Structures are given as C-alpha cells and as structure tokens.
Structure 1
C-alpha cells in the first residue's frame, strides 16, 4: 500500500509516492512550517435544523484526534490549531432535515479542525458547503458510534483561485452505517483524503464521489479504507469528468484488509470521462489482502471518451449534439448526485455543471 504509507510525509518534496501527483508549488505553503497560516474556525451553522444536536467551540486539547495520520498538512494543523468545532448529535436522535454547515474562505491561508460525533443509534445527515477563493488546510474527524446512521456530504464549490487540502476521516462503531458523498466542482487545486477505519464489527461504509475538472484545475482524491475489524463492509464509487486544456484529476483508491478482518466485503470503482485531448486522469485502485477468509473484494477503474453510440442514439431523435452531450454527462453523474437526497442542492450542482459545459461549448 505504498500510495498510502510513504516513508516520509514531513515537508513533502514531491518525490514521495503520496505527493508525486500533487503540484506542491500551488499549495501555498500549507505543507511548509516556515509559511504562516491563520488558525480559524470558518464553518457556520445554517438552515432551520436545531433540535437533536449541539454545536460548540472547544479547546483542541479537550478533544484530541482519535486517529493517526502521516499527512504533513494534517500533522501541522493539529500542532497549530487551538480551537475545534464540535458537532455532537444526541444519542438516539432522528434528525430528518440535513444539518447544514457553510464555510466561505477569503484570500488568507487558514487551518481548521472539526469533529462530528454521531451518538449511538442516531440518524442524521450533515452537509458541509465550501465556497470562496481562499486557501485552507482542514481536518474533519467523524465519529459514528454504535448503531448510528450518518450521511456526510461535502460540497467543494470553490472559486477559481481556491486551494483546499483536506482530510475527512470516519471512525465507525459496531453495527453503524456511514455514507460519504464528496462533490468537487470548483477550486484551482483540491486534494482530499476521504478515509475510513472500523472500531467494531457489523459496520459499513459507502464512499461516493463526483468531480468535474476544467482548464488548469487539479482535483485529487485519495481514498483509504482500513479494514482492521472482522465482518465489516465497504463500497467506494467515484466518477469524474474532465474538459479543457490542462484539466487534471487524480484518484487513488486504497483498500487494506488486515489479517484479523475475516468476513470483509469490499468493492471500489472509479470511472473517468474525458471531453478534450488536453485533459489527463490518473486512476490507481489498490487492494491489499492479508487474509483469505473474506466475503468478497474487488476493484475496477475505467477512463475513456464519449460513447459515440449513445450520442448517435440521442441525435437520431432530434437532440442537438451539445444538448446530447449534456444529457450523457448528467446521466453519468446522476447515480451519485441523487444520493445527496436534497433536490435543491442536487439541481444547483447540476446547473453549475451545465454552466461549465456551456462555457466549454460542450
């Protein structure tokens, strides 16, 4: 699992396996202790949902991280951040309306750390919306306690100059279910680490994601699912579209099934659709298995261009080529976008994708 466990994460040089795809010159010094970064909580609560949870600011020393990491940026922010935003969902609370958190980042570089705790046997959805043209390094640690069901949605709707380096790590308890949906359609450079570990048996994780890269954007998603507990399940499915000169995406999908993780059931998939010659998608699924006593394990990755037969079918029914292309791309993304479960947000994201396609003449 060399893509997840490099020998040295301290002040990356770009030669490390975990950083070899990332243009370090564009991450604005977030990885370099010599560059000053502001410690600030920029997430705010929006929407009408208020019952069944509590949100507060606590000292970082009072809520230490429960997970370990070798990521240089996360290590640095943990050492510098003094306050943490803590969202605590009550035990057995059933919250039907999504808990909406919004972040708008200005031009200054900042670090942010958030902890989300889904209490035992609770059920809720949390949406984090990111906007602005700022520079941010963040960590969100998600603690899903026994029997809880949590959907975590993060929307990267950054402006064209934004730099976002983040780790979203879930720790899943006994018989708990965690669903993550990551949508990245903005920013100059976005590098996210959606990661999962299991703390007890009977737990499951679904990690879904979509990304759309246009001229000069670098969108990188590094998924890591650590199966270290028996009888746990995971599903990973990410889809990307690339259009425009210099559009670049990186998807790394690592699944590690440890020796004691009997009964594991896992599958990961990444699909990329290229709309122009100047775009590049790197897709690297990795699967490491230390025990043969599993239910199933597999992975797949595809990168290709439009299906000409699909386009011909639509055009033969009187649909203009540009509209046919938009319909194909909408269909490509719909499987995952629909899992957000909020029609207003879903349509807003699709509208932004339509605008990008119109700009590109697709």
Structure 2
C-alpha cells in the first residue's frame, strides 16, 4: 500500500509566523459575513484555513464554476439545483426517539442558538441557510447517559433545505444518531454545541437510495474539558458530500473525528474535514477509512488541521486510508496541517491508498480460507476498525451487514 506520512513539530525558539485576523461584519452572535470587508472573498489570497470567506447569505457567494479549491473534485453539475436553485425549506417528516435527558423539537429561525457553531463557507451551505424555515433541535441535558435518534426516510426527490442543531448542556452525556435513508435531494447545515465538560457522540449515517444527492456541512464548537466524537458513515447515494468543521474552543477540549465509506460504481462520496485547535491543551484525532469498487467509484477526503496561536500543548493527528478493490476507481486524499504556535505536544498526518495486503491474504489462505472469503474478511476488518468505535451496538451490527452487502454486490 503506497503511503505518505509526515509528522511535524515546531521549534519553540522559531514559532510559525502569525496570520492576519479576519474582519467580521454584522451584529450579535451570528455575523452575516466573515472575510475581507472591502474586497470580499475573491481578491485576497487565503493565508490560513481559518480565514476562508463565510456568509449566511447565498447572494454573497459567486456562482460555482468547479475551479474553486473547495469544489474542484466535486461533480457540481449533478448538484446544481442544490447550489444555485431554489430550495424547499419547510418542515419535513421525521421519526425521532429520545431517552433520558434528550428531547427533539422544532424551533424558528429566530432561535438564538442558530449560527453559534459556525456559518457557511460555500454557496450550497449558504443556499440551505437562506432557505430553511425551521430548525430541528436535539437538546441534551443531565449527567446520565441519554440517546436520541432522528430518522429521515421521506424527504422526496424535490430539492430542499434543512437545518439541525445538537445542543448539549454542560456535563451532559449522550449519543445522537442522524439516520438518513430513502430518496433525497438535500442541502443542509448541522450545528453541534458541546457544553463544558460534556461527552457527546454524533453519528451521521448516509444510507440513501442510489439516486439521492446530499450536500451537508457540520459545524461544531467544543467547550472546556468536553469531548465530541463525530462519526460520518456514507454508503448510499449517488453524490454525497458531508463536510465537518470542528472547533476545539475550550481549554482541554477533545475531538475524535471518524469516518467510514464504501463507494460503488459511479458513486461519489466526499468529506472535507476541518479540525481547529483554538484553545490550549486540546487533543484531536481524525481517522477516515474507505473502500472503493466498480467503474467510476470516486471518493474524496480532504483533511485540514489548524493549530492556532493560542493552542499551546496541543496533541493532534489525522489520517485517511483507502482500500481499492477493483480497477476503474479513484480515491483523492489530501491531508493538510498548519501550526501557528511553537509549543505543542505533537502533530502529524498520514494518507495511504492501495490494494489488498498480499501478506494478509497469504496468511488467511495458508490456513485454508478460500481467496474470495479471505478478501472479504480483510475488507471487513479494515472498515470495522472505525465501525466498532461508534459505541452503538445495534447500529454497528447494521453497518457490518451493510458492508457485507456491499462486498456481495447486493441491493440494500
């Protein structure tokens, strides 16, 4: 398996050069625009990942051409209705279950939590933000473990917008599953607010029908001594793009960003991940794994980690690994790391894409296991290293079965 690994640390006597501070326009806790106040976002080169232009107004973004850094690997022609068109932002059917201190409610656009975790950095996210009428809020309180599941199966084929908030009170403990199935043509934003000392797992499952198209941006703010486990699972859909952006905002905050995906023929699965170490003594781990089979299967993973100037004592590592099962597939994997302080515990990144490990296959076959079975065991083990970290047994079992179905080429 071809592999590129780079581990970086800084010399305390020669810290990285600082960067300019972005200008914020607007009022209150929800700025309308972040970027250069005089020239917008097209004339000034972005010096660091945290300085990208951002706005809640779709009109503030120019039309997408496909030449933009954030869109150049995405089939934008298939997503035109979500990027440029009008979206239905009305309330949609949803099935929810909640236990313990979790509850699920709808709120209006005036809710003060909207916009506190982050705001859009691309036109599709801004289009969804400009279009939604109500937000679905998963509120978690109490120190006893809670669970909440949100299942969407009836979104339909019309282009629509959605906005979801996961709001965890200080010291809350919960697992929240956002389970997506059926047909959809969806652009959405998900905000995750993790209070001080909370321990929250958020799992987003994209198990769509084959014709679904889904563009999502997840924004998370993690408080002091809090922990967020964020998991992206993408198996279904024609084009699925889920971009998590997590800020470790409080001292001692901890973030685990995990992902698992399986792309079949002509399927496009994408995640652009941003982990921002803003506060001191934060810890971050990013690990995404995927498998590809079939002509035209395409996966994209871009991982950006930024260690800010105040993030002393940071410990961070990101990696992406892809297993190519057949000819005719393409896996794009781009890890990036920026460090703006000279005092860190450690930071690094890795990327690997390749075929089966011949030694593993030989080991299994030498013990009497047929080659086809051996290959399936290797793939299942490769992806299960992420699945088994979810921490929800019934969901883990369902995903294991989905992996078996993918390997067997069965319809799910």
The bucket for the TM-score relative to the shorter chain is: over 0.9
CA distance in 2 between counterparts of 1:161 and 1:177 reads 35
- Distance 1:4-1:136 versus aligned 2 partners, 3 A rule: farther
2:103 paired with 1:51: no
1:218 corresponds in structure 2 to 268
What's the CA shift for 1:261?
1.5
What's the CA shift for 1:288?
0.7
Query: Equivalent residue of 2:70, what SS?
Result: helix
Deviation digits for residues 101-129 of structure 1 (CA, Å, limit 9, x no counterpart): 10122111110001111111110100111
What's the CA shift for 1:61?
1.8
Match of 1:13 among 65, 72, 89: 65
1:311 corresponds in structure 2 to 361
**Segment drifting more, 1-10 vs 306-315:** 1-10
Deviation digits for residues 216-236 of structure 1 (CA, Å, limit 9, x no counterpart): 000010000111211111100
Deviation digits for residues 181-216 of structure 1 (CA, Å, limit 9, x no counterpart): 111111100011111012221111000110000100
Match of 1:295 among 330, 333, 345: 345
Bigger RCO (CA 8 Å, 6+ sep): 2
2:86 paired with 1:36: yes
User: TM-score, with normalisation over the residues of structure 1?
Assistant: 0.94
**Segment drifting more, 1-10 vs 255-264:** 1-10
CA distance in 1 between counterparts of 2:91 and 2:247 reads 26
**Segment drifting more, 280-289 vs 64-73:** 64-73
- Distance 1:3-1:226 versus aligned 2 partners, 3 A rule: closer
2:126 corresponds in structure 1 to 75
Q: How many residues align?
A: 355
**Segment drifting more, 205-214 vs 223-232:** 223-232
Match of 1:207 among 230, 239, 257: 257
**Segment drifting more, 313-322 vs 1-10:** 1-10
2:77 corresponds in structure 1 to 25
What's the CA shift for 1:41?
3.6
Deviation digits for residues 227-277 of structure 1 (CA, Å, limit 9, x no counterpart): 121111110000010001000000000001111211111000100000111
2:395 corresponds in structure 1 to 345
CA distance in 1 between counterparts of 2:388 and 2:305 reads 25
- Distance 1:2-1:250 versus aligned 2 partners, 3 A rule: farther
1:336 corresponds in structure 2 to 386
CA distance in 2 between counterparts of 1:237 and 1:167 reads 18
CA distance in 1 between counterparts of 2:50 and 2:340 reads 16
List alignment gaps of at least 5 residues for structure 1: none
1:151 corresponds in structure 2 to 201
2:316 paired with 1:263: no
CA distance in 2 between counterparts of 1:192 and 1:270 reads 15
CA distance in 2 between counterparts of 1:28 and 1:320 reads 46
